[in-house]
Amino acid sequence: DLELEADKYCDDGDLLFAWSASFGPFIWSGGRVIFHYHIWKLDVFSHDDLNKRFLYTWLLGKTQEIKASGHGISMAHMTKERFELLDVALPPFEEQTRIVAKVDELMALCDQLEQQQQDRRTLQNALRQSTMQALAGAQSPHELQTNWRSLQANFGWLFSEPRDVAELRSLLVELAIRGVLSPAGIQEAETNPAQPVVLQADQRAGRRFAKVTHVDPPFDLPATWTWALFDELLDGSDSGWSPKCDAEPRRPGEWGVLKVSAVTWGEFRAEENKRLPPSLDSRPECEVKAGDFLLSRANTADLVARSVIAPLDVQDRLLMSDKIVRLSFIDSELKPWANLVNNSQFAREYYRSNATGTSDSMRNVSRQVIHELPIPLPPKLVQTAVMQRLAELNQLCDSLESELTDKALYSARLSEAATAALTGINIKQDEDTVVKAPQTELIAPLRLATPPGIKAQAPLATLLVRHQGEMAARDLWQRFGGEIDAFYAQLKTEVAHGWIAEPDVAEVREKAAIAAVKA
Residues 6+ apart with CB under 8 A from 57: 99, 100, 103
Integer angstrom CA distances of residue 81 from 78, 84, 351: 8, 5, 59
| DSSP for residue 362 | E
pLDDT the model gives residue 192: 65
> For residue 245, what pLDDT band results from cuts at 50, 70 and 90?
very high
- This prediction has a pTM of 0.68
Tell me which residue of 134, 175, 126 sits closest to 151, measured CA to CA.
134
pLDDT, tens only, 120-163 = 999 999 999 899 888 888 888 788 888 889 888 989 889 999 98
Kind of pairing, strands 273-275 and 440-442? unpaired
- Residue 481 vs residue 441, higher pLDDT: 481
How many angstroms separate the most distant Cα atoms in the chain?
A: 93
The highest-confidence range among 3-17, 160-174, 183-197, 432-446, by mean pLDDT, is 160-174
pLDDT, tens only, 29-84 = 989 888 887 888 998 888 888 999 999 999 988 888 777 665 444 455 678 888 88
Residue 32 class from Cβ within 10 Å (0-12 exposed, 13-18 middle, 19+ buried)? exposed
Query: Looking at residues 224-249, what average pLDDT do you find?
Result: 93
Paired strand residues for 319:
257, 287
- Minimum mean pLDDT range among 148-152, 186-190, 470-474: 186-190
Distance CA 194, CA 186 (A): 14
Residue 109 predicted with pLDDT over 90: yes
Distance CA 154, CA 152 (A): 6
3-state secondary structure of 294: strand
Tell me which residue of 255, 258, 278, 279 sits closest to 270, measured CA to CA.
258
Residue 434 predicted with pLDDT over 50: no
Tell me which residue of 374, 373, 382 sits closest to 193, measured CA to CA.
382
Distance CA 189, CA 202 (A): 36
pLDDT, tens only, 333-371 = 999 999 999 999 999 999 999 999 877 778 999 999 999
- Minimum mean pLDDT range among 164-168, 194-198, 293-297: 194-198
Give backbone dihedrals phi and psi of 356, rounded to 5 degrees, phi first: -110, 165
Average pLDDT, the chain: 84
Distance CA 115, CA 510 (A): 39
Distance CA 74, CA 437 (A): 12
Integer angstrom CA distances of residue 419 from 1, 103, 405, 465: 50, 15, 21, 49
Distance CA 143, CA 27 (A): 58
pLDDT, tens only, 447-464 = 888 887 766 778 888 888
| DSSP for residue 361 | T
Paired strand residues for 507:
none
pLDDT, tens only, 415-432 = 878 877 776 666 555 444
Tell me which residue of 289, 253, 257 sits closest to 273, measured CA to CA.
257
Q: What share of the chain is helix, strand, coil (3-state, %, to 5)?
A: 45, 15, 40
